[in-house]
Amino acid sequence: MSRKTIVVALGGNAIIEEGTEGTMLEQFENTKRSMEAIVGLIREGHRVVLSHGNGPQAGVHLIRHEAASGQVPPSPLNVIVADTQGSMGYMIAQCLANALVVAKLEKDVVTVITQVVVDPADPSMANPTKYVGPFYKAEQVEKLRSRGWIIKEDPGRGFRRVVASPQPLDVVEKGTIKDLIDDGKVVIAVGGGGVPVMRSPEGLLAGVDAVIDKDRASALLANLIGADELCILTGVDRVAINYKKPDQRYFDAMTVAECERYLAEGQFPKGSMGPKIEAACDFIKRGGTKVIITTMENAVAAIDGRAGTVITA
């Protein structure tokens, strides 16, 4: 069996199960269960880089900051992303390290707080659409906009802050991550899509209040470190068109051309499978070999070619 370098993008259900409160105890327990698949990949000899989402966790931070804003100054969104990278990276690293001890596998696990470069002139900056944080009432909107925030109605739910979701262009710590992988470490990186930063002509970095799609950032990192495969773990075993309709159709394999055709037809919504399919196409167009989309439970079988949807050129 060939040994591969695989970037594994953990879906939200790997940390917080739908229908639960999302307490830290629940998050730790859910993360422990999720690590079984990762241990399986490491046992087979694959070199693994993990990424993860942070939507619910960043939302909690924003609510806390709002509640305490009368006592302490709130942090900007880029700092909140860094905060969640650290706290979630600690949790995932500890759970994985413990699982490796139980499996009698000697591997160091390290979390890298990762900055991802974006273009301040990205079109999304002029028209932010990504909802973040708590819901507000109509009478609060004017005051919130006085902070420089952009507030839009989340139809049927209330008003929320919206921020840009620009395309990731570079990963600042890519060299360090590659060195750690080459040294045999398991690396957790680009958590929550990475901390969005812009780079000046002089090469200086500064944080940007935005959020980067986790799967797109994972795909970019996979290209930059020369990974063999990108594995996107989500809530469904395989990609489908006509989802939850009588003529639903699952795919064991897809080409980039098929993915792009179905994207154009609206088969993959922006709020669910769309970003994953776009990230898969990005990875392969930039030279990647294969993308696998499947569930956490089927990750090892999918890497071995026995489950999931495989996307290739």
Looking at the annotation, which residues are catalytic? Answer: 12-13, 130, 214, 276
Q: DSSP labels for 1-67? A: ----EEEEEE-GGGTS-TTS---HHHHHHHHHHHHHHHHHHHHTT-EEEEEE--HHHHHHHHHHHHH
Structure tokens at 243: 């989802």
What are the CA-CA distances from residue 62 to residues 76, 177, 270 (Å)? Answer: 9, 29, 23
User: 249 forms bridges with which residues in the sheet?
Assistant: 241
Q: Decide if 237 contacts 16 (C-beta within 8 A).
A: no
The Cα 303–Cα 179 span in angstroms is 24
Closest to 189 measured CA to CA, from 179, 169, 204, 174: 174
What are the CA-CA distances from residue 182 to residues 63, 136, 187, 225 (Å)? Answer: 40, 48, 11, 10
Coil, helix or strand at residue 104:
coil
The Cα 313–Cα 310 span in angstroms is 10
Structure tokens at 262: 């179905």
